[in-house]
Copies of this chain bind each other. A is one copy, B any other.
Amino acid sequence: MLSIMATEPDFTVDTLGKAKIPSPITYSTVEGDAIASYVRDDERVLYDIEADVQGESKAYTPAQLLQKAGPRQKIYFSPSHVHAAIVTCGGLCPGLNDVIRAITRCLWYRYGVHRISGVRYGYQGFLPEQNIPTMELNPTVVDDIHKIGGTVLGSSRGGGDQTEAIVDTIERMNVNMLFAIGGDGTQKGALSIAEEIERRGLKISVIGVPKTIDNDLAFIQRSFGFETAVAEATGTVSSAHTEAHSAINGIGLVKLMGRDSGFIAAHTALASHEANFVLIPEVRFELDGPNGLLEHLKKRLERSGHAVVIVAEGAGQELITASDLTDASGNRKLADIGVYLKGQITSYFKKIGMSVNLKYIDPSYIIRSAVAAPTDSLYCSRLGNNAAHAAMSGKTKIIISQVNNVFVHVPIQMVVSTPNRVDPESSLWRDVIESTHQPLTMTNE
């Protein structure tokens, strides 16, 4: 006998009030009639699926279960009263336009909502001093936007901390539904906005669609754009491999995104089958010494005549900060590990008198600006649909996510307080080691 252990997260979903209005969408309420159905608020899925053979029976509280996303039979907002606003924040990510398109179309066609405003250039677009007009969104405007990269609304970083000014604008616009598409900072901003809305006693739904090309947000099984990013990055590694392979002692060095987590680097290594070393923020490595990267790189060259190294931008930061990165005022500067490694590798091989050909590739914008690949695009459209359903039914302070392959509502609070990292003991990292044949550790302890 064994049990499934409860976990601590509290997945309770906030609502603006009781949903009383019959949905204009006709679905079935009968289970088993083979007709598409509404989703009930009490349909849940388990978050934690780990178990072991021995164990005890265990009970659950509703707070430990995730609420399923989807269209409700009763909705909170009357469609004719809705003024929805959509905003995209932060760096570009494949699929932004797909999400905008899906929200707009679901609201318009399924619910009959005809006032949808695109707020331009991120949270900046809410600030009165910027004086940026909104963009009217409707099915005609969004019809083909999934075929282009970037975001038709424009984006920018920052501004999310000016909560009061933003809520002032939201009030002035009579917006009662805000869709915030963005990463950790954006969702923190959305939470502050929702809390300020609550303080003012307003009935405005705030729904997040989490955007994290690095996949570093928790409770998000798969971040939109991630697969496209890996596919694009794989092409870059292939370029690096071709260059390395065509030169005497060729070294291809590719810097990929991943400030805090190495998911893109790890997946790209697996997808390309051509990387020999993958360096990520979660796994410490040293350059020098018998078990350091440089020595292993040298051995690899001696063995095969070429090598490919992938480095996530957040990897090995501690190697640089010590000596290289304090500026005149003593501030910590952002360390570019790619350029740093390029220099270190070059001088190491110079020092030991081994001639190498290093080619360094930093594809950042090429990846970020890509059009979403088909399976990413379909994922985005499903996220967008569910975001529209959530807002219409009066949910708030949640993001839309997929967990254990089910679309669910996750409280923003949960998402912004728990980071997602590559676990060096996970099967993912193990498969990276099996694919690259890199040493289990590259430190000299």
Contact = CB atoms under 8 A, between A and B. Distances in A.
Nearest to A36: B430
A53 B189 CA distance: 31
A36 B243 contact: no
B70 A427 contact: yes
Interface string A65-89: 1001111000000000000000000
Interface stretch (A25-33, A205-213, A411-419): A25-33
B62 A2 contact: yes
Contacts of A271: 374-375, 377-378
Contacts of A154: 245-248
Interface in A417-445: 424-425, 427, 429-431, 433-435, 437, 440-441
Given A59-B3, A365-B240, A230 B70 contact: no
Contact of A42 (B52, B149, B151, B273): B52
A52 B43 contact: yes
A156 B245 CA distance: 12
Interface stretch (A15-23, A140-148, A161-169, A192-200): A140-148
A231 B207 CA distance: 29
A385 interface: yes
A36 B31 CA distance: 45
B374 A234 contact: yes
Nearest to A305: B154
Contact of A44 (B52, B69, B147, B242): B52
A1 B106 contact: no
A323 interface: no
Interface in A349-381: 357, 359, 361, 363, 365-366, 368-370, 373-375, 377-378, 381
A315 to B, nearest CB: 14
Contacts of A303: none
Nearest to A366: B239
Interface string A262-285: 000001101111000000001100
Contacts of A65: 2, 51, 53
Contacts of A378: 230, 267, 270-271
A154 to B, nearest CB: 5
Contacts of A144: 144, 148
Most interface-central of A33, A369, A370 (chain B CB within 10 A): A369
Contacts of A172: none
13 contacts: A2-B62, A27-B440, A36-B433, A43-B52, A49-B49, A121-B248, A144-B144, A149-B239, A150-B243, A154-B246, A227-B375, A239-B366, A272-B374
Q: Which 6 A-B pairs have the closest CB atoms?
A: A242-B369, A150-B246, A271-B374, A270-B378, A150-B242, A42-B53
Given A46-B49, A147-B148, A154-B246, 19 more contacts: A1-B61, A2-B65, A27-B440, A32-B425, A42-B53, A45-B49, A49-B406, A53-B62, A71-B430, A110-B434, A121-B248, A239-B365, A239-B370, A243-B365, A271-B377, A273-B377, A381-B435, A404-B404, A406-B427
